[in-house]
Structure 1
Amino acid sequence: MIAVLQRVTEASVTIDGTIHGQIGLGFLVLVGITHTDTTEDVEWLGRKIVGMRVFSDADGHRGSGKMNLDLKTVGGTILLISQFTLHASTKKGNRPSFIEAARPEVAIPLYEQMITFLNQELGTPIQTGAFGADMKVNLLNDGPVTILIDSKNRI
């Protein structure tokens, strides 16, 4: 399971012209699920996302730039978007292959588990896109801070 975590001051997702999910301070998380992912990947990655200390502490606001605070501490939230294209293989040619992306019958239950897990870990409801929908994502990346986390690369 791959997550692209972007620290944002605001983010939203629009589906069919209507805002489906919207946050202020927090993380926009794009998550890609592969056919070998399990509940263990969901939990490991979910804990990693919520615990990621990339928000500035009081010293950071005075210019040191020290990222020391996590999402709960700053009162932030999450906008979670499923994105199978994170598992694109670009080794051959110019047309990506998505063979490593999980089929919906595997990916949807894991995506729903991630939503439930993040809600529990954060202690507040997160916002989401809609699995498989054509979505328009808008964000204001803060920093910019963008981090790639892969549950298969833990060491």
Structure 2
Amino acid sequence: MAATSDSASYDGFTKEERDAMKEHARELKAASRRAGKAEKAAEEEAAVVAKIAEMAPEDRVMAERLHAVVKAAAPHLAPKLWYGMPAYAKDGKVLCFFQSAEKFKSRYATFGFNDVARLDDGAMWPVAYALTELSEQDEARIAELVKRAAG
């Protein structure tokens, strides 16, 4: 639906979605300016850590723990920002990501996988998990999924 002159009209995307798209464009522009591969990887991980530090306390705790779990489970994945969210890429393609509850004003955070993840299990399988907290069992399950997805 197209926007009208009424500022309360629906224009197709929420403010949060438009902000995420703008943030992704800035990330792509910044990434294209970076020089060496090792330098780029360090900068991208620093950007992920900085983004996590900006999160609300509940999301930040989960994101920090997930960052450690993903790095331990699949150290070859490259941390990077993806639409303003911490993500982990394989061969330049985002494999998994953490979406804070605050990001789109949701009641829960999400840990998700993109289609490059190798999680196929028949004709239907989950690719995103709602998170309200993380137990040791949850972390172990996520580590197992990340290992499998990363191949």
Which category describes the TM-score, using the shorter chain as reference length? Answer: under 0.3
| TM-score after normalising by structure 2 | 0.26
**RCO greater where, 1 or 2, for CA within 8 Å and sep 6 or more?**
1
Whose Rg is larger? 2
More strand per residue: 1
| TM-score after normalising by structure 1 | 0.25
More helix per residue: 2
